[in-house]
Each structure stands twice: as structure tokens, then as C-alpha cells.
Amino acid sequence: MRTLAIVLVVSLAVSAFAATNKAAEMNKATTKAGDAVDAALQVLYDLRQANVDAQDVKDAENRTNQANCDAEIADLKNIADINQGSGDSTTAHRKYIEKEIADSHAYLDWIAARRVDIARREVELQDQRCYSAQIFVRSLKETDDAIAAVHLLRTDLFAAVDRKTAGNDSDDEDESLIQVQGATRKLAAYKHLMNEQALSAFEQLAAMDDSDSDSDDEDGDAAPSNSVEEQIDALLDRLEEHFEENLRNFEAAEVQSSWSLAVWFQDSENELEYLAKEETRTEEYIDKMSIAVQAAKATENKSWEIYFQSSSNYHNAITICIHKGEDYLADKHQRDDEIALLDDVIKQFKEQSG
């Protein structure tokens, strides 16, 4: 519409210019034609100035719009960032609750596995304890038999010594020696119960029994016959002390083993009670977290809905401001073209009228 008006004005100006030329040819100039030319030029000048003024208004309006757009976009961007942070927080909270539920289920699985492990270990310890008790009883029996063998050997030894003292013949001595050697061989069955010192004493004892049969053939410078018996008696004392110490050690080990097993059973019972409480507490916690996760999901969905709306508002504002800028530039280009057209008409009008 604005361009059409300019075209009409230009047409009037051209008509006025034509009329002026015709009058000039006829009359060279008249006052009325001169007034028409001045009026046409003034209209062109006024129209050009109106466009300039209108562009100044639009420029100021554009600057205001641009400042408002920048402020609005910044505010909407800040709101969108805050809402995104809120969405991230609600997502993290929901994931935390889900992890708590998963960890709690894993803890319940561990409790179940721990109960199975305790039950298995209990069966193993009971079997081991039964076997240990059998070993203990057998060890007591063997040690008691070994002490009895020591007593028997000592009895046979003193019997042989008494017969020597009484002046019995060599046949009785040989019989006594055979009895002593037999008791020694019987004692050899318990060598596995001896430590190094006791085993050394036994080997000395066996060696003395073997050499005792040759003692009657020695000359008069030999040591008294009762010195061998005394040495054997001392070795027997060492063996007997060792076996008695074994008895005490077996009893102490059995007591300690029984005590340790009792302590383990007591600790296991306490642990099972604790696991039962933990299982109840964990199941209650899972129920609580299962409810909480539903609320967390609802809050998360609402938070992201708000964020997406604020993000849409932010991008819409950018789009609107871009469109406003494009409209401003299009209007400015059109007005610049109109001003250029008016300048060209004015120039031509002046050239032809002058």
C-alpha cells in the first residue's frame, strides 16, 4: 500500500512536470505551473522524510525489542537450566533408591548364603569333633597301655634283680632276661607316642637289654651288675614321665578343642540371631524403599516435564525474536528501496525542471 501511494505521488509529479513543459512551450512559464512544481517537490520531500522518520522509529523499536529478547531469552535459559538441574537431581535420587533396593537384595542373598555356610561348617565341625574324640580315646588307651608296659618292664627287671640277689641259678636269670626283653619288645609298639628324648631313652634301654646277656662273661674289673639295672630303671622313669606328660597334654588338648568348639557354637548362635534381625530390618527397608521409588519416579517425571516445557519456552522465544529481527530487516530493506526511489525521482524532477 505504501509503495502504491509513492507511485501515485511520482505519477502526479511527472504529470506536473509534463504540464510545465507544455506550458513552457506555449507560454514559457506561468505562475500557476511554477506553484504546481514546487508543490510536487514538497510532496516528494515530505514523503521521503516520512520514510526516514518511520525508519528511525522502527530502528529504536528494534533495539528495544532486541534488548527485551535478550533479557527474556536469558531468563528462560536460566529457568531451563534450573529445571534441568532439578530433573538431574530427581533422576539421581531415583537411581540411589533403586541401588539401595538392589544392594539390600544382595545383602539378603549374602545372609542366606552365610546361614548355609554356618550350617555346613557346623556339620563339618561335628564330624571332626567326633573323629577327634575317637582319636583322643585311642590315644589315652595307647598311652595307658604304654605306662602299663613300663610298669611291667620295671616289675620284671626288679624280679630279675631279686633272683640274682637270692643266688638263683643261671637258668632263672636267663628266664628273667627273656621276660625283660619281651617287655621291651612290647614297649616298642608305643614308639609312635614318644618324643625324641623318650625315643632316645627307649633305644638306650633296648641296647642295654641286648648287651645284658653278655654281662656274665665279663672279667672282674667290670662295673657292678646292679649298675645296669639302675640305668634301666632311670630310663624307665623317663619313659613313664613322658607318657604321663602325654596324658596330660592329650587331656588339655581335648579340653581346649571342646572349649573352642563350644565358643564357635556360641558365636554362631549369636551370629544367626544377628542375621535374623538384619534380615527383618532389611526386608522392612526394602518395603519402604519400594514405596519411595514410586514416589521418586513420579517426582522425576514431573521434574522432566517441567524442564521440557521450560526448554520449549526458551527455544520458542528464540524463534520469535529471530522472526521479529527478520521482519525488521525486511521492512527496512523495503523502506530503503522506497527512499532510493524517491531520491531518484527528485533528482530527475530537478534536472528536467531546471
- Pick the closest to residue 51 from 349, 327, 337 (CA basis): 337
- Supply the CATH number for residue 224's domain: 1.20.120
Same domain flag for 94 and 136: no
- Supply the CATH number for residue 329's domain: 1.10.287
Rounded to an integer, the average pLDDT of 203-211 is 55
Is a pLDDT exceeding 80 seen at residue 183?
no
Question: What total number of domains does the chain contain?
Answer: 2
**107 part of a folded domain:** no
Q: Which domain holds residue 50?
A: 2-102+295-353
Domain boundary among the residues 253, 268, 287 is at: 287
**342 part of a folded domain:** yes
Crossing angle of helices 170-187/31-166, nearest 10°? 170
What is the structure's pLDDT at 283? Answer: 96
Q: pLDDT by residue (tens digit) across 142-182?
A: 777 777 777 777 776 666 556 555 555 445 445 544 555 55
Same domain flag for 160 and 189: yes
For the chain, what percent of residues have pLDDT higher than 70? Answer: 68
Same domain flag for 221 and 336: no
pTM for the predicted model, two decimal places: 0.58
Same domain flag for 243 and 343: no
What is the structure's pLDDT at 38? Answer: 75
Continuous segment of H or E residues that includes residue 327: helix 226-353
Grid cell of 337 as nine digits = 528501496
Same domain flag for 137 and 268: yes
What is the structure's pLDDT at 75? Answer: 96
What is the structure's pLDDT at 72? Answer: 94
**61 part of a folded domain:** yes
Q: pLDDT by residue (tens digit) across 80-94?
A: 999 999 999 999 999
Same domain flag for 279 and 299: no
Domain boundary among the residues 287, 311, 342 is at: 287
User: For residues 150 and 246, is the Cβ–Cβ distance under 8 A?
Assistant: no
Same domain flag for 220 and 315: no
